[in-house]
Amino acid sequence: MPIKFFLHEDEIPRQWYNIAADMPTPMQPPLHPGTGQPVGPQDLAPVFPMNLIEQEVSQERWIDIPDEVLDKLLLWRPTPLYRAEKLEKFLNCPVKIYYKNEGVSPAGSHKPNTAIPQVYYNKVFGIKRIATETGAGQWGSALSFACNQFGLEAKVYMVRVSYEQKPYRRLMMNTWGGTCIPSPSTETEAGRKILAMDPNSPGSLGIAISEAVEDAVTSEAMGRPPTRYSLGSVLNHVMLHQTIIGLEAQKQLAMAGDYPDIVIGCAGGGSNFAGCAFPFIRDKIAGKKIDIIAVEPASCPTMTKGVFTYDFGDTVQMTPLLPMHTLGHSFVPEPIHAGGLRYHGMAPLVSQLVLDGLIEPRAVRQLETFAAGVTWARTEGFISAPETCHALAAVFQEAQKAKEEGREKTILVNWSGHGLVDLAAYDAYFQGKLFDYELPQEAIQEALKALDGFPKPALG
Amino acid sequence: MPIKFFLHEDEIPRQWYNIAADMPTPMQPPLHPGTGQPVGPQDLAPVFPMNLIEQEVSQERWIDIPDEVLDKLLLWRPTPLYRAEKLEKFLNCPVKIYYKNEGVSPAGSHKPNTAIPQVYYNKVFGIKRIATETGAGQWGSALSFACNQFGLEAKVYMVRVSYEQKPYRRLMMNTWGGTCIPSPSTETEAGRKILAMDPNSPGSLGIAISEAVEDAVTSEAMGRPPTRYSLGSVLNHVMLHQTIIGLEAQKQLAMAGDYPDIVIGCAGGGSNFAGCAFPFIRDKIAGKKIDIIAVEPASCPTMTKGVFTYDFGDTVQMTPLLPMHTLGHSFVPEPIHAGGLRYHGMAPLVSQLVLDGLIEPRAVRQLETFAAGVTWARTEGFISAPETCHALAAVFQEAQKAKEEGREKTILVNWSGHGLVDLAAYDAYFQGKLFDYELPQEAIQEALKALDGFPKPALG
């Protein structure tokens, strides 16, 4: 029995799956931050190109992947599906474990799956330059790679503390020709304001988003090439682009003659989780019995301890209000090492599916995630990104549970990226410098006060 | 036409190719450093397990790959063969370019191809612990990974300056459970001697080899578990294990309906080059017209400016004398960033084939290699190791030559590893801190004086 399942290039999915067409509860619309009314496409036009806005609100179940996008995705896709046979032997539980290896992309994670189409649609719309923010750098490097492939400029505002402490992903951006500057910067009004208050500001994702959005919407007036903003998670079209993961996995599992009882992914903004899980949730809605688990850090428990309500995507209240699970837009997570999971909100699509009982959210603690990552490296060989280690921790929990229940289970986990440029986090773990942090209930109550007075979405 | 060619797991080669069986000129034997007489297996027994020594001197053309080795290699093998279609378009030359992607291994390079079988044979022989040296860390991390897979201890002596400046590969070793200490260390006689002379010694590969060999041969007396030494390049059995690269590539090129006019690899000790090239050299010996190019740095021009003679593998004259191209065992290369290519000697098998005119050696300058690496990243997407960039520079030269000659050519290059933990080198390049360095003739003459008085092998 093989342990790796490859699809031929001509077997790559040619359409993305849009779960909006199958949602048991219709999605609530985003609201305009000024008027409180649903935002229309024109409200978003200064920020995103219209073809992506159309995708954001589409109700079509299947959306064609353009040939120009497929051509670029083929640089690393279809990605292999692996059977984690060596881990199975080590765990000695009645489980079969499959993982989808998204670490084989040039940027080392699932992020290019949406960076490539986003840049393509911008290019088609006549855009020459894209501004974005990045935390640890996964998204900024993926967008720089994609912009380079299509000949667009990339401008990345990187949270200053990460810019200084994590030079490797910045260097990846440079290698692909992207421009990366620390945020807050002196190049935007928002950045200058923050620096005036605190010249040593370490920055935050919220500030960086504000800078990137401002960069995009002021570019015309500033005489820069036509520019739009791009976001690497949370939004509907991002989830859509990532579904290629799960669609490939379904074909590969069929090759293996298998189907999962449990699908697991880590969730920060939700995109790698959604990408793998949504095609299986379609099966679940159609009656298939399957557990879908979204794993978040106990230090940033958006789905398990946050509330479902309208909130801003950024800290400084520039974005539309989105209906989602949130800890409040002013929430600042503890500096755990899984930078990609430190976000106050959750994708509206994922949030609604949690409400509808189709997704089980689960919070795991930091030390458990690194323990899982080390065991993974010492069995399967590959070193996992700290974000991915959260999903692995849940795999171990489910394997143990299967043993206790004496039931055979098949698990699919989305291995969202490798950890080769995150090794300092493993070092801190080995040196005993990491600790478990569970967000206290009082801190959550305090953070949620920022939401007082905002509209509340109706509960499914 | 696909751009990626995958073999099924059951198509993986089941035998290594031993070029010793087909050499037009028989190999000269290694000599004992004390007696000057050919070394026998027993002379090497304290250093290597006897089953590997037998492989080192074998004349069998095909050597079976044990099932236990195949089982581990399947974690990442067969590796994909890519058509570099986007680079071809960019170069606009009459060439088809294929590359074998060895960066998909857990350690990110070709090194585990030999680490896995070496550890396996040690284990079968009853060895519990392996000592080795490493420069930039590619080999040390691969050996740590392999030891972990088979449950042996790994002890890595890492050149101190790299240990301090390049923490990421050390952290990979730790993640796989290996022990890595800076060399010179206080744990060996050799290390203590060096430190007594210079407490701030930055170390060298030569010193680290001495420490690792001493560790192995003194382990029994010191009460450590049974220990042997392991080397990641240069030796015959290392080249043998790497031939799986070229054997897979031959099958994959057949899938593509193609055969190369030119095969290119970078060569430090020679193992990734040999692994890809030797199966094609077999075809060349049988009459096929094919150019085989081994690329080395102009700053360490072992094959192009060194001499073919008996020399030590290490600086402190502990190893047997090997018949090879060398700049002299006391030669210290300039600190260019391709750590894996900074070696004074060259694999005896590669050296003999250069002498026999079957391999064309070529030296390239540093800036040209990084320029090639950046163009590669901006077309094919993947970021290459600095060593690999040397091979890419030769690909670009051959493409240009084909254009000038107006002839269509098919090129195969061994993409030996990714550069994700070498990004500081790219940064130095972008900042203009790197420069070209060509070793002056006088320096070579001076270095070669160290060889006065040693036996000279007969020339082919």
Which chain B positions have a beta carbon within 8 Å of A167's beta carbon? 423-424, 427
ipTM of this complex = 0.94
Residue among B176, B380, B383 whose CB faces A378 most closely = B176
Rounded Cα–Cα distance for residues A104 and A183 (Å): 29
B426 contacts A421? CB cut-off 8 A: no
Contacts of B426 in chain A (CB under 8 A): 171, 174-175
Prediction pTM value: 0.96
CA angle A89, A94, A95 (to 5 degrees): 75
Range B205-226 average pLDDT: 93
Q: Which residues of chain B have a CB within 8 Å of the CB of A104?
A: 104
Q: Which among B4, B6, B106 has the least Cβ separation from residue A381?
A: B106
- Nearest by CB to B420, from A108, A381, A427: name it: A108
CB contact under 8 Å between B423 and A145, yes or no, is no
Q: Nearest Cβ partner of B423 from A3, A172, A426?
A: A172
Chain B residues with CB under 8 Å of a chain A CB are 2-4, 6, 8-10, 74-76, 86, 104, 106, 108, 145, 148-149, 167-168, 171-172, 174-177, 374, 377-378, 380-383, 420-421, 423-424, 426-427, 430
Q: Are B392 and B87 in contact (CB under 8 A)?
A: no
Q: Do B420 and A9 touch (CB under 8 A)?
A: no
DSSP secondary structure letter of residue A38: B
Task: Among B383, B415, B421, pick the best mutation site for testing chain A contact (most A Cβ within 10 A).
Answer: B383
- Distances from the Cα of B455 to the Cα of B27, B172, B320, angstroms: 15, 41, 12
Nearest CA in chain B to A90: B149
List CB contacts (< 8 A) between A374 and chain B: 175
Q: CATH code for A4-15+43-107+236-451?
A: 3.40.50.1100
Q: Which residues of B84-107 are buried (b: 16+ CB within 10 A; e: fewer)?
A: bbbbbeebebebbbbbbbbbbbbb
Distances (CA, A) of A435 to A342, A367, A439, B19: 16, 6, 13, 54
Nearest CA-CA distance, residue A44 and chain B, Å? 31
Reply yes or no on whether the pLDDT at B125 is more than 60: yes
Give the side-chain half-sphere CA count within 13 A for B365.
8
Chain A nearest C-alpha distance from B184 (Å): 23
The answer on pLDDT for B460 being more than 50 is: no
DSSP state of A24: S
Contact state of A75 with B380 under an 8 Å Cβ cutoff: yes
Q: How far apart are CA A450 and CA A306, in angstroms?
A: 12
Q: How far apart are CA A336 and CA A299, in angstroms?
A: 8
CA distance A116 to chain B (A): 12
Among partner residues B75, B106, B427, which is closest to A383 by beta-carbon distance? B106
A75 contacts in chain B (CB < 8 Å):
3, 86, 380-381
Q: Are A423 and B377 within 8 A, CB to CB?
A: no
Say if the Cβ atoms of A420 and B420 lie within 8 Å.
Answer: yes
Torsion sign, CA atoms B393, B399, B402, B408: positive
Domains of chain B, residue spans: 4-15+43-107+236-451, 128-225
CB atoms closer than 10 angstroms to residue A200: 6
CB pairs under 8 A between A and B: 102
Residues of chain B with C-beta less than 8 angstroms from the C-beta of A381? 75-76, 106, 145, 149
Angstroms from B397 CA to nearest CA on chain A: 22
Which residues in chain A have their CB less than 8 angstroms from residue B378's CB? 148, 175-177
Q: Which of B70, B171, B389 to mutate to test the interface with A (most CBs of A within 10 A)?
A: B171
Closest Cα of chain B to A107: distance in Å? 8
CA distance A170 to chain B (A): 9
End-to-end CA distance of chain B: 44
Contacts of A276 (CB under 8 A, 6+ apart): A100, A242, A245, A246, A249, A263, A265, A412, A414
* B171/A426 touch (CB, cutoff 8 Å), yes or no: yes
With CB atoms and an 8 Å threshold, state whether B423 touches A380.
Answer: no
At B68-121, the pLDDT tens digits run: 999 999 999 999 999 999 999 999 999 999 999 999 999 999 999 999 999 999
Question: Of A8, A149, A171, which has the smallest distance from its Cβ to B427's Cβ?
Answer: A171
Q: Nearest-CA residue of chain B relative to A148? A: B378
Select from A68, A74, A75 the residue whose CB has the most chain B CBs within 10 Å, as the one to mutate to test that interface: A75
Please return the burial class of B433, using the count of CB atoms within 10 Å of its CB with bins 0-12, 13-18 and 19+. exposed
Helices (H), B112-257: 112-124, 138-150, 160-165, 167-175, 189-197, 205-222, 236-242, 244-255
State the Cα–Cα distance between residues A311 and A319, nearest whole angstrom: 9
Contacts of B381 in chain A (CB under 8 A): 75-76, 106, 145, 149
Pick from B145, B374, B421: CB nearest A420: B421
- Answer whether CATH 3.40.50.720 is correct for domain A128-225: no
> What pLDDT is recorded for position A47?
95
Rounded Cα distance, B430 and B443, in Å: 29
Identical topology for domains A4-15+43-107+236-451 and A128-225: yes
Higher pLDDT, A240 or B450: A240
Q: What is the pLDDT of residue A459?
A: 62
Mean pLDDT confidence for B226-254: 97
- Closest by CA to B412, choosing from B71, B82, B13, B46, is B82
* Per-residue tokens: B11: 């198509």
E strand residue ranges, A176-278: 179-183, 227-229, 262-266
Contact criterion met (CB below 8 Å) for A209 and A203: no
A80-125 tens-digit pLDDT: 999 999 999 999 999 999 999 999 999 999 999 999 999 999 999 9
Provide the 3-class DSSP secondary structure of residue B457: coil
| Residue numbers of chain A with a pLDDT score lower than 50 | 460
Residue-averaged pLDDT of chain B: 94
Chain A residues near residue B104 by CB distance under 8 angstroms: 104
Cα gap A363→A360, rounded to integer Å: 10
Q: What distance in Å separates the CA atoms of residue A211 and residue B353, rounded to the nearest whole number?
A: 59
* Chain A interface test: which of B73, B423, B431 (most A C-beta within 10 Å): B423
| CB within 8 Å: B149 and A383 | no
pLDDT for B34 equals 84
